[in-house]
């Protein structure tokens, strides 16, 4: 591609200018003959070249203009246009910022400490329910139970909390989760939670996330008030909640040997027909027992049942 085409010049116009440079000025008729064009076809090409100042039409001849002079003038014009565009963009950005400021459903929090203070307010402000998911304390690796949680549970606030498995790998964190579950919190776990989220009564939410940006760990947090964005966050929570596996603080004595045998067959990937044959019962009986186990474990799928069985050491 010839460099001139980057400035919006067509290949045909570029070849016309090259011809003028190589063979000199010419009448429109002569030039049309040299480049193999009709006069009617030549005029749009000359218009392209005039726009960049590369040709100077006379009454009877077309003269090429030295490219440095023509394009230097173009460069200065583009520089003036760019400076004007930046000036206009600056003014419009201020207008945009003032308009965005009227979107009062978003509040950016300045620090992790500010986010922690808002998180403590969740327990005080909640009236009916709190739906949350957590990857742990974003500001440090020290695990704590948020202040006011037990008092909110005693007031009758319903808590649904999704934990990432990374939180539960820490024995101290696991103990805290079990304390919350004993107090009435409905706790579930998924392999990975992308951010910290707490939704209060569908009135507002606290969102916080941590990531590496330009080689540094950054934490961003904001409060989202009643808005389509809040409804979207609630929808995200519900999707994760359906996929998550319940956490129970006391698995009890575990299943009887026959149930353990059934769970073993399930984990091995046997079909209901194969399991029924191995256990000497009907397929309907197998399906009914599996359904009962799912209900007892508080799960919806066989995969979740397998995860729960593995976690409690039933396999």
Query: Is residue 75 pLDDT above 60, yes or no?
Result: yes
- Give the tokens for residue 187: 């706790």
> What average pLDDT does this structure show over 122-137?
88
> What average pLDDT does this structure show over 223-243?
91
| Second CATH level (architecture) for the domain 257-311 | Orthogonal Bundle (1.10)
Hey, do 3-65 and 111-246 end up sharing a CATH topology, with the first three levels equal? no
Alpha helices in 126-256 (DSSP H): 149-154, 165-168, 171-182, 228-243
Higher per-residue confidence, 50 vs 251: 50
Which contacts of 198-201 are long-range, i.e. CB under 8 A and separated by 24 or more positions?
198/119, 198/122, 198/130, 198/131, 198/132, 199/130, 199/131, 199/132, 199/230, 199/233, 199/234, 199/237, 200/122, 200/125, 200/126, 200/130, 201/126, 201/127, 201/128, 201/129, 201/130
> What average pLDDT does this structure show over 68-85?
82
CATH pick for 3-65 out of 1.10.10.10, 1.10.1200.10, 3.40.50.1240, 3.40.50.450: 1.10.10.10
Inter-residue contact 305 to 294 (CB < 8 Å)? yes
Q: Which of 262, 269, 254 is nearest to 290 (CA)?
A: 262
pLDDT-derived band at 141 (thresholds 50, 70, 90) equals low
What b/e readout covers 127-136, taking b as 16+ CB neighbours within 10 angstroms? Answer: eeebbbbbbb
Cα–Cα distance for residue pair 54/52, rounded to 1 Å: 6
> What average pLDDT does this structure show over 50-72?
82
Q: To the nearest whole percent, how much of the chain has pLDDT over 90?
A: 14
In angstroms, the Cα distances linking 213 to 128, 135, 160, 220 are 37, 18, 31, 11
Min mean pLDDT across 34-43, 68-77, 124-133, 200-209 is at: 68-77
pLDDT-derived band at 177 (thresholds 50, 70, 90) equals confident
**pLDDT confidence of residue 127:** 92
Query: Is residue 94 pLDDT above 80, yes or no?
Result: no
**pLDDT confidence of residue 91:** 79
pLDDT tens for 101-124 read: 666 788 888 888 888 888 888 989
Min mean pLDDT across 48-57, 128-137, 208-217, 228-237 is at: 208-217
Query: Is residue 42 pLDDT above 70, yes or no?
Result: yes
Q: Where are the domains of the chain?
A: 3-65, 111-246, 257-311
Query: Is residue 305 pLDDT above 90, yes or no?
Result: no
> What average pLDDT does this structure show over 171-175?
80
Cα–Cα distance for residue pair 305/263, rounded to 1 Å: 9
Mean pLDDT of the chain: 82
Q: Which residues contact 75 (CB under 8 A, 6 or more apart)?
A: none
> What average pLDDT does this structure show over 203-225?
85
CA 210 to chain CA centroid, Å, is 13
**pLDDT confidence of residue 97:** 67
Min mean pLDDT across 29-38, 63-72, 113-122, 178-187 is at: 63-72
**pLDDT confidence of residue 293:** 82
pLDDT tens for 259-295 read: 888 887 887 778 888 888 888 888 888 888 888 888 7
Q: For the structural domain made of 111-246, what CATH number should be given?
A: 3.30.870.10
Q: To the nearest whole percent, how much of the chain has pLDDT over 70?
A: 85
């Amino acid at each position: 591609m010839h460099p001139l085409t980057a400035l919006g010049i067509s290949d045909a116009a570029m070849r016309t200018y090259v011809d003028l440079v190589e063979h000199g000025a010419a009448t429109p008729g002569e030039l049309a003959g040299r480049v193999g064009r009709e006069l009617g076809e030549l005029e749009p090409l000359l218009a392209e070249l005039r726009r960049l100042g590369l040709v100077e039409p006379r009454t009877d001849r077309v003269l090429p203009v030295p490219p440095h002079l023509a394009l230097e003038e173009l460069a200065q014009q583009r520089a003036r246009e760019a400076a004007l565009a930046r000036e206009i963009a600056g003014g419009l950005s201020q207008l945009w910022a003032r308009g965005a400021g009227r979107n009062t459903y978003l509040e950016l929090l300045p620090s992790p400490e500010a986010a922690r203070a808002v998180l403590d307010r969740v327990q005080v402000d909640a009236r009916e329910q709190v739906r949350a998911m957590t990857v742990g304390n974003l500001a440090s690796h020290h695990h704590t139970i948020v202040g006011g949680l037990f008092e909110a549970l005693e007031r009758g606030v319903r808590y649904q909390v999704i934990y990432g498995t990374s939180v539960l790998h820490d024995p101290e964190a696991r103990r805290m989760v079990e304390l919350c579950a004993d107090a009435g919190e409905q706790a579930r776990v998924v392999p990975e939670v992308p951010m910290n989220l707490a939704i209060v009564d569908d009135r507002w939410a606290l969102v916080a996330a941590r990531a590496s940006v330009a080689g540094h760990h950054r934490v961003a947090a904001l409060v989202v008030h009643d808005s389509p964005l809040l409804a979207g966050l609630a929808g995200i929570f519900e999707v994760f909640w359906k996929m998550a596996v319940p956490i129970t603080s006391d698995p009890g004595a575990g299943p009887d040997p026959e149930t353990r045998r059934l769970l073993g067959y399930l984990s091995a990937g046997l079909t209901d027909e194969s399991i029924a044959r191995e256990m000497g019962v009907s397929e309907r009986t197998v399906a009914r027992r599996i359904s009962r186990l799912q209900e007892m474990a508080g799960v919806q799928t066989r995969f979740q049942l397998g995860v729960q069985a593995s976690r409690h050491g039933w396999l």
